[in-house]
Structure 1
């Protein structure tokens, strides 16, 4: 089963568990994909019948080994394309996701690998997500979520979630990008905002932002 829909589903399942251990539920999957719960339920049944996922009624959805291979293939395609658009075509990091969603399904394997080679076989995309190697190997950096980092923790930014383009623009304006060094100063009383010291000075980030940034552990 190699339809565009199946590729999008297994990729979404993979994304959910890439940086945290909890498996995805059908309702969470529906939210991530912007689809009705009933639509997702029917597709999950088809994926299970095709051997791409494990799913019990009312339970979580998990990839089978075959499903994971397909997901990693699509993740590689998506992230190579994102990197190509930023490095060769002048896109900003908040502009590439939707373009990559289209192109990842259209490029031949030969063209994709040619693009990857022309970029020097990059190991991460513009947001710090690891690009799986052509053989499916994935090397994820040892990282801690900013929201979980204790006061005094200092480290380089290794990953920023790309789910909210507006947040990416806010962080760029604040001087927070990949490889920027941050020092956690602590959480402000009552407001819940986390204070971090960046190159341009102290920045207050809300809980949603703190859950979207990973620092080197």
Structure 2
């Protein structure tokens, strides 16, 4: 059994490491969790003693196989709760993240299993992120950032890189959501912004800050 704080550290390490592919510095972890580097060091020693992380002072931290398994289960619960909140309680996609941050610490595995079955075993959350399976496997979608697409390329919105409420609310105001079809009409070299056609007719001008946070089907 792991404490809420331990789980938050494990999930943060997984996220900052790009899914376990690189080491994470204590300063980066302190910034992400809004805490002091000394507190991070103490927690990493505790997690290391539980064989959840590999920690070498001054060289950063990575998750062990056991730590990665814990991270994936936390992410699984978080994303399943987001689906439940949107589909069954009619939250909007910009409202669910903070609520799911609390619900992801629910201990009952039986509850999560039954919620997964009740929802029809969803593969993706309301932001298009893949949901890990019960055995910790996660298959990402084939996707491409809108910012990287060429003029005349088109695709369907399958996810976002930024799930902060202000960004999602901004997409809502423009009429962009999961499933929206976007075609790149022009690229403006000065600031790398894009002129796009939404659903084949509506024309919008999107800044680079927006396009680098929208994923389209590849």
Q: Aligned equivalents of 2:64 and 2:183: distance in 1?
A: 39
Please give the TM-score of this superposition, normalised by the length of structure 2.
0.88
Compute the displacement of 1:124 (Å): 0.5
Residue 12 and residue 186 in structure 1: after superposition, are their counterparts in 2 closer, same or farther (change >3 A)?
farther
Contact 2:185/2:197, CA 8 A, preserved across alignment: yes
Counterpart position of 1:156? 156
Q: Which runs of 4+ in 1 moved over 6 A?
A: none
Q: Aligned equivalents of 1:115 and 1:151: distance in 2?
A: 42
Larger radius of gyration: 2
Counterpart position of 1:212? 213
Matched, 1:48 2:10: no
Q: Aligned equivalents of 2:22 and 2:215: distance in 1?
A: 17
Q: Aligned equivalents of 1:19 and 1:186: distance in 2?
A: 34
- The number of aligned residues is 217
Compute the displacement of 1:20 (Å): 10
Compute the displacement of 1:156 (Å): 1.4
Cα RMSD after superposing both structures:
2.2
Q: Aligned equivalents of 1:208 and 1:26: distance in 2?
A: 28
SS at match of 2:100: helix
Structure 2 unaligned spans of 5+: none
Q: Aligned equivalents of 1:24 and 1:195: distance in 2?
A: 37
Compute the displacement of 1:58 (Å): 3.0
1:1-217 → structure 2 map (5 Å cutoff) = 2-18=2-18, 23-199=23-199, 201-217=202-218
Q: Aligned equivalents of 1:61 and 1:120: distance in 2?
A: 37
Residue 167 and residue 59 in structure 1: after superposition, are their counterparts in 2 closer, same or farther (change >3 A)?
same
Residue 142 and residue 168 in structure 1: after superposition, are their counterparts in 2 closer, same or farther (change >3 A)?
same
Compute the displacement of 1:198 (Å): 1.4
